[in-house]
Amino acid sequence: MREPLERDDEIAHLRQALDAATRGEGRVVIIEGRAGIGKTRLVHECRELAKERGFGRLQAVGDGLETAMAWGVVRQLVERSISRYSGEVREKILAGPSGAALKALDDAALDPSEAELARTLHSLWWVAVDLSSTRPLLITVDDAHWADLSSLRFLVYLSRRIADLPIALVVATRPPADNAGPLAQLSLSADRLLPRPLTPDALSTLVGGHPEVVKAVHAASGGNPFLAGVLVDELAALGLPIDDANTAEKVGGLGPSTVFRATLGRLPAAAVSLAGAVAVLGSHADPWQAAALAQTADLPAAVEALVAANVIVTGDHLEFVHPVVREAVLSSLGPIARASLHARAATALAEAHASADRVAAHLVHAPKGTLPNAAEVLRKAASALLAAGDARMAAAHLTRAVDERPDDAALRAELGRALLRTGDAVNAHRHLKAAAAGLPDAELVAAAASATAVIEGPAAAIEELTEAIARRPDGESRLHLEARLAVFRSFLPDQRQVASAHLSGYAHLAGGTPDERTLLGLLAQMGRYEVWPHEEVAATATRALANGAYFDDATGSTDEMVAWLVALLALMAADGVDTAQREIERARLKVRAHGSPIEFAMVTNAALFLSWRTGNMRAVEAEAEGALAAVAHEDPGSTVISLRATSTHFAVYAALERGDTAAAASFINAFDRAHAHARPTMPTIWLHEVRALIALAGNDPRRAMSEAYRQRDAMHRVHVDPPTIPWRAPAARAALLLGEQELALELAAEQVEVARRWGAATEVGAALRLLAHADPAARLDLLAESVRVLEGSPARLELARSLVDLGEALRVARKRTDGREPLHRAIELAGECGSAALRTRATEALEALGDRPRRQVVVGAEALTASERRVADLAATGRANREIAQELFVTPKTVENHLGRIYTKLGIAGRRDLARVLA
C-alpha cells in the first residue's frame, strides 16, 4: 500500500514521535479532522512504522454504542492484545500486565467511589509502564470522539505522565465539541496534526479522470479523500465515465444522501437489513447475532453483497469499512425502526446473558417495557459507570430506570446521588427529597442537604439539617445528621462559635462508629484552631483516629481523607507523635498496596509534618519533594492545591535549614505561578509565614512584616490562631531588625500567652526563645527555661535552636565556660536533624569562644540529597527499580536517574556496592 497523498509532514511527525519513544521520551499525537479526511489511514501508517521498529502495539476504536460502556476503549486495548492467543500462551499473558489491567477494571466495578477511580487510573498507568518495560509501546485510539468517558480520562492521565516512558500515544478524533472535556485536555499535552483537504492535483492522482470532473469532485467533496471516493463510486454506479468532461456537471446533483446511495442503494433488501443490524449492534458485531436481529435468512449471501459493495469487512466480526458508512446507515433508519432494532438487540443480548452495560446501551434507545427487569439492568450498568467516573451516563441510565419503575424510592435515591456527582444539584435535590420521603434514611437526608449546599450555600443546608434533626429521636440516624451538620458548619467562619459549642457536646464519644469518628475529628481540628488545651485535643484526635479505623472510613472519599488528615495534624500539633507515627505507617502500607497519587500525597503530608515536628529535616525534604512529584500532574482542585501548599511550606522549611534561600524562594515562586488565582484555603494561608521567613533570610524585614500581617489578617477573618504556625514569630523578628523593640516585645509576649494556653512543650519552648530575643534583660533566664521545656518535647530541632541561642547569650554575658556545653550539644543535634544552617551557626559561636570544633565535611552518603538517600536506602535492601517507583509513586525512569547520580556521588559501579557504602 502506497503512502497517503499529501501527508508527508504528518507521517514525518509520526516518525519523530516513534523515534522519541524509542529514546524513552514519550509523545502524544492528536490527529484531528472531520470525517473522511484520512485520520484512520494515518493511524494505520503509524502502526506499520511502529511494527518496523519492533514496537509493542495496542489499538482500539471508539464506537457510538460503547460510549455508554465503562472502560470500553481500555478493554479493547487490552482484550485485542490477547484475543488471538489461546491455551498456555493466553494464560501467560493474563498473568502479566494485561491480566493486571483487566483485574483493575473488574475491581473498580465493585467500588463506585471517586477514590477507587483514582486508584484504578493509577493501576492502569502502571500496566502501561510494565508493557513498555521491555520494548517501546505504541497505543493508538481511532475515532476517539466516540470513546467512553472513563477511557478518555485514562488517556488524559497517561498523557500527563508519559514524558519519560517509551510510549507513543496516537489518538485520532473529530474536533472536540467540548472545549473543557477530556479530548480538549488531551490536546494540552499533545502535538496536534490537522490533515488538510487534498489539492486538486492530489485528487487527480487518487481518482484519475478528466480535469473538469476532478475539479467538480474536488468542489463537491471539499478535498475529503473518503467522500471523493464515494462520489467516484456513485458516478461509476450511474454509468457516468469520469474521463468524460460532460460528467462534471452531473457531480453537483448527487446530493447529501450520496454515501448511503453509493454504498447501499442498489443492494438486496436482506443486505440492507443486515447493514442496519450491524450499525445498531456497534463495532465488532457478531455475524449470527446480526443476522438474527435483521431476520436475515441467507446470512452468507447478505454478507457477500455488503463486502462486494465495500460496505463491511469480515473476520470474526462484521465491521464497516468507515465510520461515515455506518453513520449513513443509521441515518437512513427512521426513529421507530432504530428503536425496534435496539429493543430486539436488548432482548437477544439479555437472553444470551450479556453484560448489563451492553444490554443497557440498547435499552436506553428502546421503548419502555422492552424487558421486564429493565430497571435492574439499567441500575447495574449505572453502578459500573459510576465506578468508572462517568456520572453523566450513569444518571441517564438511572433516569430511564426511574421511568421504568417510578415508585421505587431506592432507585430514585441512586439517581439523586448520581445527579449530585454530575453537578446537577437542582434535580439531584428533587429526587433525593422524594426518595427520603419514601425511605426514612438519614443518608438520603444528608445527601439532599449536600445538594442544597450546592444550590443555596452551606447556610441553607445547615437550616435544612437542623430541622431534620429536630424531627428525629436520638440514635445512630440522628448522629449521622449531626455529623453532616458539623461538616457544613466547618465551612463557614461565622458558624465557628456555634460549631464549637455543637461539637463540644460530643467530646464524650468513644469513636466506635464512622459518624462518631467524624465528629471527634472535627472537634480535634476545632480545638487546634481555637487553641484548646493540647492534652484535650490529643485525646480527642486519638479517639477519632481509633487505631486506623478513621483512615479505613475515609479511603472511599478524598474529602473524608482530608478530615482524617486534619485530625492527625491536630494530634501531632499536640505533640502526640508516637500515636501519629503508628497511624502513618499503617496508612502508608495501605496506600502502597493500592492507592492513588492523591492518597499517597495525603499520607506523605502527614509524614512530613511528623518529621518536621520531631526535627528530621532530611525526611521533611524527601517527603515534601515526594508529595509534590506525586500530584504534579493532578487536576488543580482545592484538595490538590492544599496538598501542594503544605508540601511547598515544608519544602521551604527544609531549604532554609540547608541555608539555601534561593531554593526556598524557588519553591514558593513555583507554587505562586501555578496557583496565583486559587481560592484561599488554610494551607495557602499558612504560606505567608514561609514567605516572611524567606524575606528575613534575605534581610528584608519590611517585607517579612507585611507577609506576617497578611497571615494574621487571613487567620483573623476565619477566627483561628493556632500557635503551631505562628505569624507573630517572623513579625517579632522583623520588628527587632527594624528597631521596633516595644512592638517585638508585645508580639513575643502574645505568642507566649497563646503557646501556654495551648500547652504543648514544643510551642511553649519556641515562644520563650522568641521572647528572650525581644527582652534582653531576661534573655538568659528565658533561654534556660526554653531549653528545660523543650527537653520534654519531641522537637529536637527546636531544642537545638534554643541551645545555640543560650550558648551565644552566655558568651555575651561573659560566661564563656558555661556556653560551651550547650553549643557542643547544639552542633550534635543540628547535625542529627539535618540543619546545616543551624550547625554552621553553632560552630561559629563555639569558635568565637576559642574552641575549634570539627568542621563537617560532606562526603560519601552525606553528599546525597534527601530524595537520593531515600532511593539509595530502598535499593540497598534489594528492591528493584519498579518496586521503588511503586513505593514512592514515581516512574522507574526517575528511580533510574536517581541511582545514576547516586553511583556517581558515591564513586561506585552499581547497586551491589550500595549496602557497603551506606552502612
DSSP 139: E
Between 226 and 548, where is the model more confident?
548
Predicted local distance difference test score (pLDDT) of residue 169: 97
- 461 CA to centre of own chain: 28
pLDDT category at 256 given cuts 50, 70, 90 is very low
CB 404 within 8 A of CB 133: no
DSSP 229-269: HHHHHHHHHTT--TTSGGGHHHHTTS-TTHHHHHHTTTS-H
Give yes or no for residue 46 having a pLDDT over 90: yes
Collapsing DSSP states into helix, strand and coil, what is residue 197? Answer: coil
pLDDT digits (tens, 9 = 90+) for 596-640: 999 999 999 999 999 999 999 999 999 999 999 999 988 888 889
- 466 CA to centre of own chain: 35
Predicted local distance difference test score (pLDDT) of residue 392: 92
Predicted local distance difference test score (pLDDT) of residue 257: 54
Phi, then psi, of 321 in degrees rounded to 5: -65, -25
CB 591 within 8 A of CB 839: no
Predicted local distance difference test score (pLDDT) of residue 431: 87
The partner residues of 58 in beta bridges, in order of sequence, read 139
Share of the chain above pLDDT 90, in %: 47
Mean pLDDT (whole number) for 27-48: 93
CB 799 within 8 A of CB 829: yes
pLDDT category at 579 given cuts 50, 70, 90 is very high
Cα–Cα dist 859/862, whole Å: 5
Cα–Cα dist 299/222, whole Å: 37
Mean pLDDT (whole number) for 438-445: 76
DSSP 616-663: -HHHHHHHHHHHHHHTTTS---HHHHHHHHHHHHHHHHHHHHHT-HHH
pLDDT category at 797 given cuts 50, 70, 90 is very high
Please state whether 332 falls in left (phi above 0), alpha (psi between -120 and 50) or beta: alpha
All cell numbers assigned to 219: 468542489
Cα–Cα dist 22/165, whole Å: 9
Mean pLDDT (whole number) for 513-518: 90
Cα–Cα dist 537/712, whole Å: 23
Q: Judging by beta carbons within 10 Å of its beta carbon (0-12, 13-18, 19+), is residue 391 exposed, middle or buried? A: buried
Give yes or no for residue 157 having a pLDDT over 90: yes
pLDDT category at 255 given cuts 50, 70, 90 is low
Q: Whole-number mean pLDDT of the chain?
A: 88
Q: Which of 485, 475, 487 is nearest to 513 (CA)?
A: 475
Mean pLDDT (whole number) for 723-741: 94
CB atoms inside a 10 Å sphere around CB 234: 20
Mean pLDDT (whole number) for 116-122: 89
All cell numbers assigned to 586: 499503617
Predicted local distance difference test score (pLDDT) of residue 777: 92
pLDDT digits (tens, 9 = 90+) for 862-916: 778 888 889 998 998 888 999 999 899 888 989 999 999 988 888 888 888 888 8
SS3 content of the chain, % helix, strand, coil (to 5): 70, 5, 25
Cα–Cα dist 753/211, whole Å: 93
All cell numbers assigned to 729: 514569630
Q: Which of 106, 108, 104 is nearest to 124 (CA)?
A: 104
The partner residues of 578 in beta bridges, in order of sequence, read none
Q: Which of 195, 167, 183, 262 is nearest to 41 (CA)?
A: 195
Give yes or no for residue 651 having a pLDDT over 80: yes
pLDDT digits (tens, 9 = 90+) for 464-511: 888 888 887 777 678 888 888 887 777 676 677 788 888 888 889 999
Give yes or no for residue 357 having a pLDDT over 70: yes
Q: Which of 455, 385, 387 is nearest to 420 (CA)?
A: 455
CB 654 within 8 A of CB 627: no
Cα–Cα dist 376/382, whole Å: 10
Question: pTM for the complete prediction?
Answer: 0.85
Predicted local distance difference test score (pLDDT) of residue 324: 76
All cell numbers assigned to 196: 488538510
pLDDT digits (tens, 9 = 90+) for 381-439: 999 998 888 999 999 999 999 999 998 888 988 998 899 888 888 888 888 888 877 67
Q: Which of 393, 235, 259, 268 is nearest to 330 (CA)?
A: 259
CB atoms inside a 10 Å sphere around CB 352: 11
Predicted local distance difference test score (pLDDT) of residue 840: 92
All cell numbers assigned to 465: 439539617
pLDDT category at 814 given cuts 50, 70, 90 is confident
Predicted local distance difference test score (pLDDT) of residue 261: 62
